[in-house]
Every structure is written in C-alpha cells, then in structure tokens.
Amino acid sequence: MTRHQDLENLPRVDRDHLIGLVRTLSELPGPTGQEETVQAWLAAHWRTFAAHVEVSAVNNVLAKVGGQGRRLVVMGHADEICLMVKSVSESGHLHVWPFYRDTLGRPPRWFNPASQPCLVLTDHGTIPGFIAAASGHVVGGQLSNAGGLEWNDLFIEIGASSADEVRALGIHAGCRIVWNPRMARLGDHLLVGKAMDDRAALAIATVVGESLAGRDDLAYEVWLASTVQEENGLIGASSVVDSQPFDVAINLDVGLTGDIPGPDQRDFPSRLGHGPILVHSDSSVHYTRTLIRDLAAAGDAVGAPVQHAIFQNYGSDGAELIRRGVETALLTYPTRYTHSPIETVDVRDLVGIIQLIVAFATTPRIPLV
Ligand SMILES: [Zn+2]
C-alpha cells in the first residue's frame, strides 16, 4: 500500500530538455560490448547532480542521487544492437555477422539491416558507411526469390578500394557496426531513431536524477544505473548488486505495442501515447507483483495512467536483478519498430514515466500487514 503526497510537489518535466537528452543519447554509438562513449557521457553528466558516481570493472555506471532508507535503483542499459566485422574482402568491403548467437545464417524476418547508413567503430575512431547488398541488376539472374538475403549477401561499403586501405583505417575482424540515423521528430509527440532501446530509458533516468537530487523528502536512497551487454543476455546487470546491494529496482526498457498494421492486438494490446506499460511477466521472469501494484498506484495519484501487459518474446535486465534477490519492476515506454533504425517513442509516455518514478520515490511505502 502506498500513501501519496500532494500533486503540487510533482515535477513539471521540461519537454525540450528531455527531447534533447533523447537525441544526444540515442545518436551516440554504443554497441554491445563497446558502450564506452555512452557510459562516459552518462558518468560525466550524472556527476553534475549526483552525490557519488562509480564505474564497475565491466563498465556499468552507478550514481547515488541522494536520500536514505531502502536502496532504490532506476536502471537502463547502454548497449544497442550491432553487427560485427568478420572479414574484409580484397575489394575493401566488410563482411558481417550479427551481435547475437545466430543459427539461421541469415537475418531473421524481424531484423532488416540492409540499405541503412551505418557507423564502423575502428581502432582510431568512427567511419561512416552503408550496409549494402549487390543490386538486382548485377545478381538478379543468379538468385532465386526463396529465403531472402543471407549474412554473406550483406557487406559494409565505406568507400575503400582495397583490404590494405581498410586495415590502415584500423578496421579488422571484431570491429562493431551500428546504424547511424539522426533522431527525427514526427507530428507533435513522436521521436524516431536508433537506440531508443535503451537510451530513451537513460534520458528518463537522467531527468529523474536531476529532479530528485537535493530533495529532502526521498523515501529511498535513490540510485541510477546504466548497464552494459543487455542485448546479448543481460550480462552487465548480473553484477550490478555486487557493486551496490540494492533492495528495489525499477528497470526501464522499450515496451511492445500492437497499434500498427500487422501485430494481433489480442497479443499486443498496448498503444503508443497511452502511458507507461507495467510488465507483469515476459519470456524469462515474473516481475515483483507488489512493486508493480505500488507503481500503478503512484501513476494513478499523479494522473500518469499506466498500461498493463505481459510480453511474449522479450527479456530484460530486470530478470537478472530478481535472480539476485532484488525486488524488481519492469516499467516500459511504448515503442514501435523495436530493434530497427526507426524505433519510435512518444514523448508523453516518457514524461509519464518520469512523473511516476518521482512520485514513487517520494512516497513512503506502507508494508502490508
Ligand atoms: Zn532494451
């Protein structure tokens, strides 16, 4: 059970500031296993308001915002999905392999990397390019239409003309490739770009930290965390509690919606712009029921309505925290076109999450008798 404070204590979220944070964070390159740019940006920014910032050996970033009592962490992941260079052709093109354990030999239906601008992370910096495939004019007669493109049909064009030239640029097997669009705005409320998964979460966490820092009415000792290597199996999150023994976690990530042509709304009832989604269970875990209930109550109290869902074919860092004994909720912002360069979120949902978390963090929880 929760007790709610007066509505006038709620933060008015500066939308332009929030959108600027989403733009900055989503455009940073931070592929799985190479999240340094994102983590360095967060550590530097969080130091401007946090009492203490630490970086773990595996590059998780943790920031203590303030307060006393049970230790609450608001968490998102820094990494974005990526391709890896597996070899370089004599023509100066980069052959690729995905970030995950592939058993198909080709991109699955849900992953469409071709014909997109990309950024190659080299030993010396970044180089722009495109994810390419030979066009129908030159291979059309040789391919059947069955099966679609295989990984070896895709390669990276960076404008080099030989393998030696590529090597001289600091590119070799193991270098990572991310999509490279600029964030765009559509209509009055939509933000579109790469890595909304999970940088919009880290923008939310940042505004939550800014809003709570220096307040004397926190009901918890409040921390922020940005983890590494979520996309390949929740690796970074598994050691977060070895750095700091948290009691309560709110894990932030993208939420699945069915409000576009294609998905069955019986499976995906959530909609963009209709508020944060509290996730009760996903492919790997059931989230903490009492914490979900209290977050929903906090949302009600501040006029930030929530949606409730179960997510099929989905996992989050929250599972690792529950495995390690931390009471954990998964709070998501509805997102269309997940794991694409046009991940789409509604800024009103992001604002709703911020208001909900601020209300929760300043509301003492009354234990059930
Ligand atoms: Zn994610």
Residue 289 three-state SS: helix
CB atoms within 10 A of CB 68: 11
Per-residue model confidence (pLDDT) at position 38: 98
How many angstroms separate the CA atoms of 52 and 42, rounded?
13
Find the 197 Cα to ligand 1 centroid distance in Å. Answer: 5
Find the 166 Cα to ligand 1 centroid distance in Å. Answer: 32
How long, in residues, is the chain? 369
Asked if 205 and 75 touch (Cβ cutoff 8 Å), the reply is: yes
Q: For 264-306, write each residue's pLDDT tens digit.
A: 999 999 999 999 999 999 999 999 999 999 999 998 888 888 9
CB atoms within 10 A of CB 59: 21
Asked if 213 and 50 touch (Cβ cutoff 8 Å), the reply is: yes
Find the 198 Cα to ligand 1 centroid distance in Å. Answer: 5
Per-residue model confidence (pLDDT) at position 47: 98
Residue 16 three-state SS: helix
Strands (E), 259-302: 277-281
Per-residue model confidence (pLDDT) at position 3: 42
Enumerate domains of the chain plus CATH numbers. Answer: 7-80+194-361 (3.40.630.10), 83-179 (2.40.30.40)
Q: For 86-126, write each residue's pLDDT tens digit.
A: 999 999 999 999 988 888 888 887 788 889 999 999 999 99
Per-residue model confidence (pLDDT) at position 132: 94
How many angstroms separate the CA atoms of 1 and 363, rounded?
10
Q: For 322-361, write each residue's pLDDT tens digit.
A: 999 999 999 999 999 999 999 999 999 999 999 999 999 9
Find the 342 Cα to ligand 1 centroid distance in Å. Answer: 14
Q: For 197-230, write each residue's pLDDT tens digit.
A: 999 999 999 999 999 999 999 999 999 999 999 9
How many angstroms separate the CA atoms of 250 and 290, rounded?
13
How many angstroms separate the CA atoms of 10 and 300, rounded?
13
**H/E element holding 202?**
helix 196-212
**H/E element holding 26?**
helix 15-27
Per-residue model confidence (pLDDT) at position 2: 39
How many angstroms separate the CA atoms of 75 and 153, rounded?
38
Strands (E), the chain: 52-55, 61-66, 71-77, 83-88, 94-98, 117-121, 126-133, 154-157, 176-179, 184-186, 190-193, 221-227, 248-256, 277-281, 307-310, 327-335, 343-346
Find the 40 Cα to ligand 1 centroid distance in Å. Answer: 19
pLDDT at position 152 over 60: yes
How many angstroms separate the CA atoms of 155 and 319, rounded?
35
Hey, what are 169's tokens?
Answer: 């640029």
How many angstroms separate the CA atoms of 316 and 287, rounded?
10
Find the 316 Cα to ligand 1 centroid distance in Å. Answer: 7
Find the 77 Cα to ligand 1 centroid distance in Å. Answer: 7
Residue % of the chain over a pLDDT of 90 = 82
Find the 94 Cα to ligand 1 centroid distance in Å. Answer: 27
Alpha-helical regions (H) of 36-176: 36-46, 136-139, 163-168
Work out the mean pLDDT of the chain and round it to a whole number: 93
Global pTM value? 0.94
Find the 253 Cα to ligand 1 centroid distance in Å. Answer: 5
**H/E element holding 260?**
none
Find the 161 Cα to ligand 1 centroid distance in Å. Answer: 36
Find the 7 Cα to ligand 1 centroid distance in Å. Answer: 31
Average pLDDT on 145-154 reads 80
Q: For 2-42, write each residue's pLDDT tens digit.
A: 344 444 555 688 999 999 999 999 999 999 999 999 999 99
Q: What is the DSSP letter of 145?
A: S
Find the 256 Cα to ligand 1 centroid distance in Å. Answer: 11
Q: Which residue has the tokens 């740019």?
A: 37
How many angstroms separate the CA atoms of 43 and 54, rounded?
8
Find the 233 Cα to ligand 1 centroid distance in Å. Answer: 11
Find the 334 Cα to ligand 1 centroid distance in Å. Answer: 12
| ω into 198 cis (within 30 of 0) | yes
Hey, what are 248's tokens?
Answer: 């309560």
DSSP string across 299-347 = HHHTT---EEEE-SS---THHHHHHTT-EEEEEEEEEBSTTSTTEEEEH
How many angstroms separate the CA atoms of 345 and 273, rounded?
8
Hey, what are 8's tokens?
Answer: 């006038």
Find the 317 Cα to ligand 1 centroid distance in Å. Answer: 8
